[in-house]
Amino acid sequence: MKAMVKRFAPLFALFAGVLAIVLGVAIGQVTRALAQMPPQEQVTILELPPVSPHWIAATSFGGSIMVTPITLIDGDSLRVVGTITGGLTAMFAAAPDHKQFYTADTFYSRAIRGDRTDTVTIYDARKLAPASEIVIPNKRQLAVQDTTAMSVTPDGRFLLYSNLTPATSVTAVDLQGNKVAAEIQTPGCSEILILGEREFASVCADGSMLTTQFDDNGKATEQKRTAKPFFDVDKDPVFAVPAMIDKQAYFVSYHGVVYPMDISSSPSSPGESWPLLTDQDKQAGWRPGGWQPVSYYAPEYLMFVLMHQGGEWTHKKAGTEVWVFNVSQHSRIARIPLPVEANSIRVTQDSKPLLFAASMHEGVIQVFSALGGQYQGQIQEMGQPFTLYGL
């Protein structure tokens, strides 16, 4: 064995020398390559431009009911500009100055069970990053997203959100003090329709309306209820979200009747109802429907209603057209056909308003000129867009 090693020793030495040369060349090349590489990329946080009048927010059903995707959309570029991830059936609202967004969220320590924590999360609107959060009582309304479930007062001082335990109430969150201020009881009434700095209205289960005034401590100072219902909850119920135009709230019923409410008084006072449908419309089976079927353009007294052809109790059916009504004249002035059936609509309030129409089953949001009805295009791959919010 020793003789064999001695015999091949020169070869071993030669091999080791060649290997050293190869390794030296390789290391040198790697060193030069590293020296020529650009510096490593730095992680940065992009900031959005100021909110545009043609931006809206859309909530959708995610892959899990425990999270709520909230997507910000630009109607001009037909692009998604950012996303926020809310908790279980998150509520959403925007600050009047557009500098902050708010979500009311529910979380469980073991995803679907365990200890429950409810919060109001405050987001920087430019970074879409949480700036702070406020822990709130575990009693907020847990239901499919609703634009009347949470609102901000015009001065940006209070965030109001609905509770359902099943008793109904409204919690006032002091955004300046970063704390829960008070809970306002609204027996048998839900929804938050902001009427002023410290005033909101709620629709009640019997068809009446409750007007609530509160102070700077978030406590109710006066509540007045209409003497009688303004619609028949059994024969002709109304959709929750009205068209709010010039101190009037126009509620649309399942059968296509408009019930105006004068919200300048306390309590609100009902006006004369009027029909959306002609006899021909009724014979053709037209009626309003969808999840969010009513919107408006206040500067020109226009109400937009999502319409479909169907029978009794089809009030959740997707719409094939959007009809435009002049509420002052009680007349239809336009019909906008939809390339894709839609469940929800929203109109912006600027000088050149856009109409957004969300299709939950197709996963698209269509965009139209609100005043001319021209089709602008669509944003695709939106998941299941459900509720549309103005910013």
Domain that holds residue 339: 235-385
30-39, 111-120, 218-227: range with highest mean pLDDT: 218-227
Same domain, 146 and 69: yes
Instruction: Render pLDDT for 79-114 as a digit per residue (tens, 0 to 9).
Output: 999 999 999 989 999 999 999 999 999 999 988 889
Mean pLDDT of 234-261: 96
- Cβ neighbours of residue 241 closer than 8 Å, sequence gap 6 or more: 146, 147, 148, 292, 294
In a domain, 294, yes or no: yes
Same domain, 215 and 279: no
In a domain, 37, yes or no: no
User: For the domain that residue 260 is a member of, what is the CATH number?
Assistant: 2.130.10.10
In a domain, 132, yes or no: yes
Number of domains in the chain: 2
Exposed / middle / buried, residue 342 (Cβ in 10 Å: 0-12, 13-18, 19+): buried
Domain closes at, from 214, 229, 244: 229
Average model confidence (pLDDT) for the chain? 90
Q: How confident is the model at residue 242 (pLDDT cuts 50, 70, 90)?
A: very high
Question: What pLDDT, on a 0 to 100 scale, did the predictor assign at position 63?
Answer: 62
Domain closes at, from 179, 200, 229: 229
φ and ψ of 161, to 5 deg: -135, 155
Same domain, 223 and 241: no
CB 208 within 8 A of CB 226: yes
- For residue 12, pLDDT over 60 is answered with no
Instruction: Render pLDDT for 124-163 as a digit per residue (tens, 0 to 9).
Output: 999 999 999 999 999 999 877 789 999 999 999 999 999 9
Same domain, 52 and 130: yes
- For residue 22, pLDDT over 50 is answered with no
In a domain, 164, yes or no: yes
- Count H helices, E strands: the chain? 2, 30
Mean pLDDT of 297-302: 98
Same domain, 217 and 248: no
Mean pLDDT of 170-177: 97
In a domain, 18, yes or no: no
In a domain, 145, yes or no: yes
Listing DSSP states for 109-140 in one string gives TTSSSSSEEEEEEEEETTTTEEEEEEEE-TTB
Q: How confident is the model at residue 5 (pLDDT cuts 50, 70, 90)?
A: very low
Three-state DSSP state, 11: helix
Same domain, 182 and 270: no
Domain closes at, from 229, 251, 279: 229
CB 390 within 8 A of CB 349: yes
Same domain, 188 and 315: no
275-to-269, 281, 325 alpha-carbon distances in Å: 19, 11, 11
Query: Can you give the length of the chain in residues?
Result: 391
Q: Which two tokens stand for residue 272?
A: 């004369």
